[in-house]
Amino acid sequence: MNDARPNSNHFQKLIDRGVPRTSAARVRIDRAFSIICLGITLIAVLALALLLASILIEGFPGLSWSFIERYASRIPEQAGIKAPLFGSIWVASICAIVALPVGVATAVYLEEFAAKNRVTNFLRINISNLAGVPSIVYGILGLTLFVRMFGLFGPIQNPAFEIGGETFAIYYDSTGEPLRVPVTSRNETPSLTTGSIGYIQDVLDGPDGELIFTNNWTPIPLTIVNGDTKFTPAYGVISAVDVVEPIDYEIQKPWYYVQFPFGQTVLAGGLTLMLVVLPVVIISSQEALRSVPRSLRAGSMAMGATRLQTVFRVTLPASIPMIMTGAILAMSRAIGEAAPILVLGVALFITDVPQSLMDAFTVLPMQIYNWTSRPQEEFRALAATGIIVLLVVLLAFNAIAVLIRQKFSRPLQ
């Protein structure tokens, strides 16, 4: 042994070659690295802080109740966010009502029923690919599938199928008031004679001299006069020249009114967002179902329950808290999406809250985009205020979901 021992010089060489740093140096590198790591991690915190600060500084002064109560306007001081706010709520609700059942059902099928074969594998790959498709591409799908329906039912302005709406032709009488005459379709020109019944809108005087347009329409007998007759302004008096063709057509839509194609309506918007978030809902629900212990399923089956009973009474209840978490994330994404809605071609100036599934709408991110893209400072401030409203909506949404989660959340044992 002693003979075989190499001289210390040899060891020194080995040490020099194999161990480049002393252990003190390595510890120092370790400390330095941990500090650098912390510093870099703080970039994310800094970004969030800067983001929130810039929004609050720009937008907080404009925040008031009247901002939430007013509609869009070309004058920054009078602009509000009521229509997009309600539009977002409508669209997100439709999206949730459709996406959650379909998404959870798909996840249940994939996790609980599907055999492990090529078809199932293909389904999985397909869903993860769908999750990576940019939202603007879903907008194109929504535009073709829901807004236009491939053009199968005629143009948007003159839908081939309508259920439940009342159509009116619009004229203006000699006082300048709009006058409605009931017709059966959008192409029909009513044959008006003196004595036909039209409808005139009730207008009330507001407290400060403002006019308030009501939804009541009073019947009024029409008087048709010759085109060249001079007449004093009176309700229900129309010149014979104007009778030939109505100015416009209007549809009074009850809540159950449906038209094909949908056009740029709340329903089309909600369904388009459903396409965007569906893969997210499916993937998160799959993960939730996967987290339920096998023993619970085995126990249920051993008691004689069918697969279906096991799913509805054991697996789903156990995974509801996690499914809800995924659903919240998906809905937050739906509320924040602007690109797919933008592709649908929704109108920017909406001055009414949607009343039915077939009403025009806009959403918060669209309005914020519109304001931000204008060069004037005032509109940028409006955009910041709008962002505050959007973030508050998202926060409220998350809070509600956390409450539901806690209510459903039960220990598995």
27 binds another protein (CB under 8 A): yes
327 binds another protein (CB under 8 A): no
Nearer to another protein, 163 or 410 (CB): 410
Output the six-digit token pair for 166. Answer: 């009342």
Among positions 270-289, residues that touch another protein (CB under 8 A) are 275, 278-279, 282
Interface pick for another protein out of 63, 89, 137, 224 (rule CB under 8 A): 137
Closest by alpha carbon to 287, among 256, 327, 254?
327
Among positions 213-272, residues that touch another protein (CB under 8 A) are none
CB of 55 to another protein, least distance (A): 7
Among positions 336-395, residues that touch another protein (CB under 8 A) are 336-339, 342-343, 345, 365, 368-369, 372-373, 380, 383-384, 387, 390-391, 394
40 binds another protein (CB under 8 A): yes
Residue 386 sits at the vertex; the CA angle it makes with 384 and 388, to the nearest 5 degrees, is: 75
Give the C-alpha separation, 4 to 2, whole Å.
Answer: 5
Give the C-alpha separation, 249 to 246, whole Å.
Answer: 7
Output the six-digit token pair for 312. Answer: 């509805």
Give the C-alpha separation, 402 to 408, whole Å.
Answer: 10
Closest by alpha carbon to 229, among 239, 219, 221, 237?
239
End-to-end CA distance of the chain: 64
Interface pick for another protein out of 1, 4, 38, 211 (rule CB under 8 A): 38
Interface pick for another protein out of 135, 272, 286, 356 (rule CB under 8 A): 135
Nearer to another protein, 55 or 79 (CB): 55
CB of 100 to another protein, least distance (A): 11
48 binds another protein (CB under 8 A): yes
197 bridge partner residues: 221
The residue range among 119-127, 224-232, 249-257, 401-409 that interacts with another protein, by the rule CB under 8 A, is 119-127
89 binds another protein (CB under 8 A): no
Nearer to another protein, 133 or 412 (CB): 133
Give the C-alpha separation, 339 to 135, whole Å.
Answer: 6
Interface with another protein: number of residues (CB under 8 A): 81
Q: Which are the contacts of 365, defined by CB distance < 8 A and separation ≥ 6?
A: 88, 335, 336, 337, 338, 341, 390
Give residue 316's Cα distance to chain centre: 26
Cβ–Cβ under 8 Å, residues 259 and 77: no
The residue range among 109-117, 178-186, 207-215, 351-359 that interacts with another protein, by the rule CB under 8 A, is 109-117
Interface pick for another protein out of 12, 22, 54, 175 (rule CB under 8 A): 54
Give the C-alpha separation, 147 to 269, whole Å.
Answer: 8
CB of 20 to another protein, least distance (A): 12
Question: Which x/- pattern, by CB under 8 A, does the window 143-172 give for another protein?
Answer: -xx---------------------------
Closest by alpha carbon to 274, among 328, 330, 343?
330
Output the six-digit token pair for 121. Answer: 């594998």
Give the C-alpha separation, 143 to 331, whole Å.
Answer: 21
Interface pick for another protein out of 56, 63, 89, 141 (rule CB under 8 A): 141
Interface pick for another protein out of 90, 91, 95, 106 (rule CB under 8 A): 106
Nearer to another protein, 308 or 412 (CB): 308
